[in-house]
Amino acid sequence: MTTNGSEMDASIIRGMTQPRITRRDLFKTAGAVAGAAGLSSGLSSVAGALPNSNVGSKTWWASQQVHHQLNFANWPYYIDTVSGTHPSLVEFKKETGINVTYSEVIEDNPAFYQRIIPSLSAGGSTGYDLIVMTNNSPQLGYLIQGGYLIPLDQTAMTNFNKYASPTVKNPVWDRGNKYTMAYQSGWTSLAYDANKVKSPGNSLSLMFSTKYKGQVGMFADPIELGAIGLLAIGVNPASSTPSDWSRAATKLRQQRDSGIVAAYYGNDYINHLKNGDLAISQCYSGDIFQARVNGSKNLNLLTPKEGLLFWTDNMAIPLYAANPRDAMKAMDFYFSPLTQAVVEYYVDYICPVPTAKNEMLKPTGWDKAALAAMKAEVGLTSTQVASAPTIFPTAAMNAISKPYYQFKSQTEIDTWNETFLPIVQGQ
Amino acid sequence: MSRLASARRWGRGATPYALGAPAVIWLIALFLIPLVVMLVKALETCSPITQACTMTWHWSEFSYVWHGSAQSIFTSLRFAAYATVIDVVLSFPIAYWIAFYGGRRKNFFLLMLLVPFFVSFVIRTIIWQFLLSSSGIILTVARDLHLVGPNYHVLQTSGAVIAGLAYNYLPFTALPIFVALERIDKNLIDAARDLYSSKVEVFRRVIFPLARPGVFAAFLLTFIPAFGDYVNQQVLGGISNTMVGTVIQNYFLAYSDPTSGSALSAIVMGISLIAIVLGGIAIGARNLGDYV
């Protein structure tokens, strides 16, 4: 439907969402969803309700053996690569004898969740021992709350305890790192094409500028879209309220209806930026760094005064995984500064191990050969990568990092989606 | 009657059923059951976490998705109609020429028509995205020649989506029309000429009426998939042209809401059915059975 004026929108949305909320409420009272009010706060308490409540306990872990086999599901372009092989996985095999089947099958959180949940809810293995999910997506919360992740062996996290950055230790979405360890973090912000945007300024208000009508790309993911909308109206997403959400939605709707937004994108926004179809786009920090390395020097990451949205992709072991011990070993291996130096040199997101910076500058072991082997493909010196504030953030950058809103119930997720989804759907 | 004869007669009676069984099983397993599952799902309530569903006879789901998605349904209908018309207008002369003037090389010409479609659907569409992008070869040249302004763009417009649909479904239009034209008995054309019909009259009163079943099949094979298409819109389109296929895909994959996705799919199927009947009437079917 075409709508003018936000008042009308709000009433229509309320009107059309009312029956659904009622239905969900009914459903909840029927008790089929266990404790929907506890996505973040009551995480640990839910595990007790698991059918396999023994899984992940100390005695259970004590009986888990290395099978020399690991099925690792990850996102595309998210691991060190040189002519088709992954040096860190080669080294992992050398050190542990574990053979890794690495699949780049995760392209967004909800779709991957849809792929694995039928087997998980039927009590079967997903086929993966290690998966990577983003903290800002409700799906990671669903996995934890549904009891679909194996609690980690806290005694097998040596590197993590020693080297992990404070930004990923004991995070708000998984207190005590009971189920997850970070893989990479990143920022969501705006990117601009310096050939088209001569004076970008230092504010998110750039994305509302009528000067770039039809040339601004936004994310289709309602979580990302809503969060940057909140930041842009000067609200910290983490402490926002539903009334802030609708104010942000109003602003984003205006942006759309005045023709500023070209389209709402998934991961393909970066091609449109490179092709010159967009002057400004919501972006992930690592993509912009990689695009610059690959020749698009005109693309820049905006560091807005309102802040940068900080997210983390987390490694976790899905329930019924065949090789949990192997997965545990791999997770800790990725917290060695040597491994992270190699991964980060290629991946260019925010490194969860700050000391990997020194390692990148002065390699002390197997990473030396791996870094040298990748140099031609990466095309940057290790000094250039190590000194990038988007990879090893400065204190100032960390200070303006803003976390996402932490959903406390399914009702909140529904409300959020019903606030921001219609904008993307063209309603 | 001997026992053998009765067995043989029974056997003969069962043969058609036995031969039809694969098709019937196919229809039941891959059409009827999924259809019922979809309708059931639309009335259920599902947990976003476990995706477990319970039947709640939630009929208002239909009005909920209708209110939210009517706009995208109308957009899809409009785009599919444009694409179908463009395809019929483009492919009729092609099919006509191959059928009547192709001679011994008919099969070669048909192959030439189909060769681009040996490449995967999605890849073809993404290549269009490269061609039509603001820094792609077409717009760069057009801008340098001052044929278009500096901010002119093709991607994200409705025109780009319709062009993508028309391009991708062209063979589904051309082939049925070709088959219908090829089947026309050339003696009928000669007879019409003998009876002093002009070329235009021959086309209007002999060729086109005989090609109607092909045009109707072309309409079915182009309009219906184009109506539900979501690839072209996502790759080539923007925000003012969201098609219903994209909305359904989002319900299922992005928003973990199979209930709404199923309800909307059911609505789209109903509309497709109505569109088939209306399309049949418009093309001149007196009796749908004649043409299907």
Residues 220-279 of chain A with CB under 8 A from chain B are 220-222, 256, 261-264, 268, 271-272, 275-277
Question: Quick one: B112 and B99 in the same domain?
Answer: yes
Chain A residues with CB-CB distance to B61 below 8 A:
19-20
Question: Quick one: B38 and B65 in the same domain?
Answer: no
Chain B residues with CB-CB distance to A118 below 8 A:
51
Is there a domain that residue A19 lies in? no
Question: Quick one: B49 and B85 in the same domain?
Answer: no
- Torsions phi, psi for B154 (to 5 deg): -105, -45
Q: Which of B26, B41, B58 is the last residue of a domain?
A: B58
Question: Quick one: B83 and B171 in the same domain?
Answer: yes
Chain A residues with CB-CB distance to B50 below 8 A:
33, 117, 121, 146
Question: Quick one: B115 and B247 in the same domain?
Answer: yes
Print the domain residue range for B17: 1-58
Checking if the pLDDT of B247 tops 50, the result is yes
Question: Quick one: B32 and B169 in the same domain?
Answer: no
CA distance A43 to chain B (A): 14
Residues 104-123 of chain A with CB under 8 A from chain B are 108, 110-111, 113-114, 117-118, 121
Chain B residues with CB-CB distance to A146 below 8 A:
49-50
The residue to which tokens 């539903």 are assigned: A242
Question: Quick one: A73 and A106 in the same domain?
Answer: yes
Residues 199-218 of chain A with CB under 8 A from chain B are 214-215
- Cα–Cα distance, A216 to B87 (Å, whole number): 33
Structure tokens at A186: 């990143």
Run of H or E including B53: strand B53-55
Per-residue pLDDT of A193-205, as tens digits, reads 999 999 999 999 9
Chain A residues with CB-CB distance to B78 below 8 A:
none
Per-residue pLDDT of A244-260, as tens digits, reads 999 999 999 999 999 99
Interface test with A, best of B44, B50, B139 (most A CBs within 10 A): B50
CA distance B256 to chain A (A): 7
**Cα dist from A67 to A64, A78, A96, A104, A335, whole Å:** 9, 25, 10, 22, 21
Question: Quick one: A369 and A412 in the same domain?
Answer: no
Q: Do A410 and B48 touch (CB under 8 A)?
A: yes
Measure CB to CB from residue A256 to each of B58, B237, B239 and give the nearest one: B239
Instruction: State which of A3-17, A223-237, B143-157 shows the largest mean pLDDT.
Output: A223-237
Chain B residues with CB-CB distance to A215 below 8 A:
151
Average pLDDT over residues A90-111: 95
Average pLDDT over residues A94-111: 94
Average pLDDT over residues B273-282: 87
Question: Quick one: A70 and A170 in the same domain?
Answer: yes
ipTM greater than cut 0.90: no
Question: Quick one: A331 and A409 in the same domain?
Answer: no
Report residue B242's pLDDT band, with 50, 70 and 90 as the boundaries.
Answer: confident
- Cα–Cα distance, A192 to A292 (Å, whole number): 12
Is there a domain that residue A112 lies in? yes
CA distance A247 to chain B (A): 21
The pLDDT of residue A7 is 37
Question: Closest Cα to residue A229, out of A29, A27, A8, A423?
Answer: A423
The pLDDT of residue A28 is 36
Q: How many domains does chain A have?
A: 2
Question: Quick one: A280 and A419 in the same domain?
Answer: yes
Question: Quick one: B109 and B20 in the same domain?
Answer: no
Measure CB to CB from residue A426 to each of B45, B48, B242 and give the nearest one: B242
The pLDDT of residue A52 is 56
The pLDDT of residue A217 is 95
Touching check for B198 and chain A: CB below 8 Å? Answer: no
Chain A residues with CB-CB distance to B251 below 8 A:
none
Chain A residues with CB-CB distance to B69 below 8 A:
425, 427
Is there a domain that residue A196 lies in? yes
Question: Quick one: A137 and A265 in the same domain?
Answer: no
Four-CA torsion A144, A149, A151, A156, nearest 10 degrees: -130
CATH of the domain at B226: 1.10.3720.10
Q: Do B54 and A277 touch (CB under 8 A)?
A: no
CA distance A355 to chain B (A): 37
Report residue A38's pLDDT band, with 50, 70 and 90 as the boundaries.
Answer: very low
Question: Quick one: A58 and A147 in the same domain?
Answer: yes
CA distance A98 to chain B (A): 32
Interface test with B, best of A275, A411, A412 (most B CBs within 10 A): A275
Interface test with A, best of B62, B134, B239, B241 (most A CBs within 10 A): B239
Per-residue pLDDT of A117-170, as tens digits, reads 999 999 999 999 999 999 999 999 999 999 999 999 999 999 999 999 999 999
The pLDDT of residue B200 is 92
Question: Quick one: A255 and A243 in the same domain?
Answer: yes
Question: Quick one: A329 and A299 in the same domain?
Answer: no
Name all contacts of A373-376 with Cβ < 8 Å and 24+ positions apart.
A373/A82, A373/A87, A374/A80, A374/A81, A374/A82, A374/A87, A374/A342, A374/A345, A374/A346
Measure CB to CB from residue B45 to each of A23, A256, A264 and give the nearest one: A23
Question: Quick one: A273 and A321 in the same domain?
Answer: no
| Mean pLDDT (chain B, rounded) | 88
- Cα–Cα distance, A209 to A261 (Å, whole number): 10
Chain A residues with CB-CB distance to B67 below 8 A:
1, 12, 15-16
Question: Quick one: A219 and A270 in the same domain?
Answer: yes
Degrees (nearest 5) of the Cα angle A139, B244, B53?
A: 45
CB count in 10 Å sphere of residue A299: 24
Q: Give the chain A residue whose CA is nearest to the CA of B49.
A: A142
Is there a domain that residue A60 lies in? yes
Is there a domain that residue A123 lies in? yes
Q: How many domains does chain B have?
A: 2
Per-residue DSSP letter, B124: H
The pLDDT of residue B9 is 62
Is there a domain that residue A81 lies in? yes
- Cα–Cα distance, A180 to A171 (Å, whole number): 9
Question: Quick one: B21 and B97 in the same domain?
Answer: no
Measure CB to CB from residue A276 to each of B58, B70, B135 and give the nearest one: B135
- Torsions phi, psi for A177 (to 5 deg): 45, 50
Touching check for B54 and chain A: CB below 8 Å? Answer: yes
Q: Do A2 and B71 touch (CB under 8 A)?
A: yes
Checking if the pLDDT of A34 tops 70, the result is no
Degrees (nearest 5) of the Cα angle A280, A8, A203?
A: 25
Question: Quick one: B136 and B104 in the same domain?
Answer: yes
Q: Do B67 and A256 touch (CB under 8 A)?
A: no
- Cα–Cα distance, A222 to B250 (Å, whole number): 11
Average pLDDT over residues A384-396: 93
Print the domain residue range for A58: 43-185+313-377
CATH of the domain at A273: 3.40.190.10
Measure CB to CB from residue B51 to each of A30, A117, A417 and give the nearest one: A117
- Torsions phi, psi for A127 (to 5 deg): 90, -10
Question: Quick one: B184 and B52 in the same domain?
Answer: no
> If you count residue pairs, one on A and one on B, with CB atoms under 8 Å apart, how many are there?
116
Chain A residues with CB-CB distance to B242 below 8 A:
425-426
Q: Do A425 and B50 touch (CB under 8 A)?
A: no
Residues 305-334 of chain A with CB under 8 A from chain B are none
Q: Which of B58, B79, B100 is the last residue of a domain?
A: B58
Interface test with B, best of A4, A20, A105, A223 (most B CBs within 10 A): A20
Question: Quick one: A201 and A278 in the same domain?
Answer: yes
**Cα dist from B6 to A397, B11, B14, B17, whole Å:** 90, 8, 12, 17
Question: Quick one: B24 and B126 in the same domain?
Answer: no
Cβ atoms of B70 and A1 closer than 8 Å:
yes
Chain A residues with CB-CB distance to B51 below 8 A:
114, 117-118, 121
Question: Quick one: B15 and B138 in the same domain?
Answer: no
Q: Do B51 and A15 touch (CB under 8 A)?
A: no
**Cα dist from B238 to B86, B166, B263, whole Å:** 21, 17, 25
Instruction: State which of A163-167, B43-47, B243-247 shows the largest mean pLDDT.
Output: A163-167
The alpha-carbon radius of gyration of chain B (Å, integer) is: 24
| Mean pLDDT (chain A, rounded) | 87
Is there a domain that residue A12 lies in? no
Question: Closest Cα to residue A237, out of A406, A27, A376?
Answer: A406
Is there a domain that residue A352 lies in? yes
The residue to which tokens 């309602």 are assigned: A222
The pLDDT of residue A87 is 96
Q: How many CA atoms does the CB half-sphere of B152 hold within 13 Å?
A: 14
- pTM for the model stands at 0.81
